[in-house]
Structure 1
Amino acid sequence: MSDSPGSGPPPPPPRPLPRQQATPQTTALRQRLAELRGPSVAPQPLDARALAALAANPGCERRALLDGAGVNKTVLAQALGSPSDFGQSQFAFMRGNAFEARVKADGGADLMRLLAECTGTAEPADVAVPDLAAAGPQGRAARTALALREATEAGGWTLFDHPMLVLEVAGSPAYLEPDAVVVDPAGRWTVIEIKSFPMIDASADAAKVGAAARQSAVYVLALERIAAHTPGASVHDRALLVCPKDFSNLPTASAVDVRKQLAVTRRQLARLTRIEDIAAALPEGTTFDPGLPPAELTAAVESVGAAYAPECLAACELAFHCRTRARGAGAVEALGRGVRGELGGLTTVDAVLAAAHGEEGDPSDPTVAALRRAAALRAEALGSAAC
């Protein structure tokens, strides 16, 4: 006999989404960051790619503050007169979106097949795809966290399409959006990264794979915060990298071990100075509004310390501006982190040359002695060549 409508115990009420309560400190920080950004400037969200680059250079307070305040560094670089072509081209962006749509078509059938092949499991016949829609990034992050817990409790296969994760960076929340996350029946969460660069003969460009691994490590770190409060959940230390196969548009995949990148990212993010501490040290009225006169804007940017290195050219929109300043000051950082580490207390090119020529420096200093020896060998070689 079937139950009539309304019979039986009432269904349990839905669990409310967790909400992050604003404190006076966080409210004051948000107001301060809005002032730094400019009163009429919308915040630029901090994505995993920028976060991975920030973790690779934790000593750069300038990038930490600008990213934390949501400053659009591309617009800022243009206003400073040092525009950068850093970033993805429109063509590459469209190609990437088209490839991702193909991979996720039919409920992610290709994606789940590739995951099964790389993990050695049977291809799932039934995969749930929850609706993660909510108001604003905070709402989406809360909805994602709740859906991850529910999927783990349910014990089936679940595909999360563009979930929203949150990770605290230097005291400020950063909202991150991986391409996909899969929860398997064992409660293991796997990050999926979909890239448009090709995988030829089962291998791809090492630099691009490394960048994808660092980006995936950021997502893993954010997922670990949720898994820590979810019974039976674990985060896989291997991300699934999906790329076009050879020169076609057919997807192929490879499991990428992100344990090393995860350890580095966790350690580097812990070293970041808190954003409120950096902001508190700025002169009163400092703002990075791109509408300011160039001289005022340059002074505002220079009021925050930077840690330039040639590697910044591939990871930061302000790299050309910082390089020009470093070269103008004769800073040895412009020659690379390796050179900077070898030179010890000699921080400028002029100081290095003076030490090499015997004009300055302590002869008992190993660095000074090595420079003078190198200068003597160079002079001897040039003298021999002249003869």
Structure 2
Amino acid sequence: MSASLASGPPPHLPTHPPTTALRQRLAELRGPTVAPQPLDARALAALAANPGCRRRALLDGAGVNKAVLANALGSPSGFGQSQFAFMRGNAFEAKVKADGGAELLRLLAPDRPEDAAVSTPDLSAAGPEGRAARTALALREATESDGWTFLDHPMLALEVAGSPVYLEPDAVVVAPDGRWTVIEIKSFPMIDAAADAAKVGAAARQSAVYVLALERVAARTTGASVHDRVLLVCPKDFSNLPTASVVDVRKQLSVTRRQLTRLTRIEEIAETLPEGTTFDPGLPKEELKEAVEQVEAAYAPECLAACELAFHCRGRSREAGAVETLGRSVRGELGGLRTVDAVLAAARGVAGDPDDPTVAALRRAAALRSEALGGAAC
């Protein structure tokens, strides 16, 4: 397992807290009686995967519960984990963290002497800000020591689009040489040492967010380095025994860092909204739809696996006949043709510049289709 030394804070991620005025504005957007929904690493990874979606950036930054909002709009998301899966995941995590993380350390460093001391600092503090500060202090103290340190559910801070986000990885281990490793525990199985590729990919994107947040702390800690490979711990085959795999997150880390810098600052989006705009789920459905439509979305089919508002945005995209409903790759191939009707008109030869390569390709494809179907028009 190799490590990459953090040489400085992630670029273009500011460290100043949001102003009181912005906090008040975001509270108005949520609704006067609605508690904020905190961002987690999974949501942040999904946000980074679609940085052009101003709607998600604002709703997540304001702490709007998108699942509740989707229900109020009449387009429930179907997101969430069953109670059984939730309980099973918690039981598995407790099992692998028992005895001060002894099993995790065995999986991470099988050559470590069994009698080697392990420090498990208390990370409790008041509020997420206090817990993040306590975690940073514990990481610095662990790096200065010459032993192993196991941090259970540390709290990390990262600023995204001008708003602070607090993240809680399953665990972080500090080695005697000052290396920090993120531990991600999942309840999906590894069968014959392999797990579902889509689930591993999602875990890698989530872990990359933790690594990015850790880099900020490491940049202020002498001798600290952060692994760009994380330890993914899952049940082995069909048992409840833990097994582990090292996952390289360098690609996900690079993409996440780049995408987060592209996010428009939340206050800039909020300033474009009419005074009094709110996403309070208690509003009548039509008023709520009007408020949501005030913020531009960037729908793509991939949103269905990552955003609670995807069904609502897909419906609106289909109503508008937007080519984005066909996928980002298709959208990229169609150039300036933005609607399905415009694409069909260009293919039929009733619209579009015949010298445009995209239009020419569409007409050629339509001719081939017509020939194959015996003259049937598209």
TM-score scaled to structure 1, two decimals? 0.92
The one of 110, 114, 123 aligned to 2:107: 114
Task: Specify the SS of the correspondent of 1:104.
Answer: helix
Count of residues in correspondence between the two structures: 364
CA positional deviation for 1:156: 1.4
Note if 1:99 corresponds to 2:92.
Answer: yes
Aligned residue number for residue 142 of structure 1 = 133
SS in 1 for 2:86: helix
Following superposition of structure 1 onto structure 2, how do residues 271-310 of structure 1 map, counting pairs within 5 Å? 271-310=262-301
Rounded to whole Å, the distance in 2 between the matches of 1:77 and 1:253 is 37
Partner AA of 1:197 in structure 2? F
Alignment of 1:208-227 (within 5 A): 208-227=199-218
Check the 8 A contact 1:188/1:236 in 2, yes or no. yes
Residue 206 of structure 1 is matched in structure 2 by: 197
Q: For the residues of structure 2 that align with 1:207 and 1:347, how far apart are their CA atoms?
A: 30
CA distance in 2, matches of 1:295, 1:384: 45
- 1:336 aligned to 323, 327, 336, which one? 327
Asked if 1:242 is matched to 2:236, the reply is no
Amino acid aligned to 2:138: A
Query: Which whole-Å deviations, capped at 9, do the CAs of 1:210-265 have from their partners, x for residues lacking one?
Result: 00000000000000000000000010111000000000000000110000000000
TM-score, normalising length from structure 2?
0.94
2:366 is the alignment partner of 1:378:
no
Would you say the 8 A contact 2:72–2:285 is kept in 1? yes
Q: How does 1:60-209 map to 2 (within 5 A)?
A: 60-117=53-110, 121-123=112-114, 125-209=116-200
Within-5 A mapping of 1:4-43: 26-43=19-36
> C-alpha displacement at 1:155, in angstroms?
2.5
1:149-188 CA distance string (max 9 Å, x none): 1111122110000000010100100100000000001101
Stretches of structure 1 that go unaligned for 5 or more consecutive residues are 1-20
The Cα RMSD (Å) is: 1.6
- State how 1:38-57 maps to structure 2 within 5 Å: 38-57=31-50
**Residues 384, 36 of structure 1: alpha-carbon distance in 2 compared, 3 angstrom cutoff:** closer
- How far 1:383 moved relative to its partner? 1.0
Q: 2:70 corresponds to which letter in structure 1? A: A
Distance 2:120 2:265 in 1: 37
Match of 1:383, SS state, is coil
For the residues of structure 1 that align with 2:185 and 2:298, how far apart are their CA atoms?
31
Larger RCO (CA within 8 A; separation ≥ 6): 2
Does residue 265 of structure 2 align to residue 265 of structure 1? no
Relative to structure 1, the CA distance from residue 264 to residue 122 in structure 2 (aligned partners, 3 Å threshold; closer, same or farther) is farther
Alpha-carbon distance between aligned partners in 2 of 1:280 and 1:307, rounded to the nearest angstrom: 19
* Identity of matched residues, %: 84
In structure 1, distance between residues paired with 2:16 and 2:254: 30
Listed as ranges, the gaps of 5+ residues in structure 2 are: 1-14
1:384 positional shift: 6.7
Q: Which amino acid aligns with 1:335?
A: L
Offset of residue 87 of structure 1: 2.3
Contact 1:77 1:317 in 2 (8 A): yes
Letter in 1 for 2:72: A
* Partners of 2:101 and 2:198 in 1: CA distance: 27
Equivalent residue, structure 1, for 2:6: none
Q: Structure 1's 191 and 123: CA in aligned 2 closer, same or farther, altered over 3 A? A: farther
Partners of 2:142 and 2:149 within 8 A in 1: yes
Which one-letter code corresponds to 1:129 in the other structure?
T
- The residue identity in structure 2 corresponding to 1:363 is P
Check conservation: 1:38, 1:287, Cα contact below 8 A: yes
Quick one: distance in 1 between partners of 2:38 and 2:346? 46
The answer as to whether partners of 2:73 and 2:288 remain within 8 angstroms in 1 is yes
| Cα separation, 1, equivalents of 2:41 and 2:183 | 13
C-alpha distance in structure 2 between counterparts of 1:205 and 1:304, whole Å: 35
User: Quick check: 1:315 aligned with 2:293?
Assistant: no
Q: Report the CA distance between 1:90 and its aligned residue.
A: 1.8
Counterpart CA distance in 2 for 1:46 and 1:384 is 54
Instruction: Indicate conservation of the 8 Å contact 2:370/2:376, yes or no.
Output: no
Cα distance in 2 between the residues matched to 1:206 and 1:225:
29
Amino acid at match of 2:374: G
Matched, 1:326 2:317: yes
Measure how far apart 1:94 and its partner are. 1.0
> Rg larger in 1 or in 2?
1
Q: What is the identity, as a one-letter code, of the residue corresponding to 2:83?
A: Q
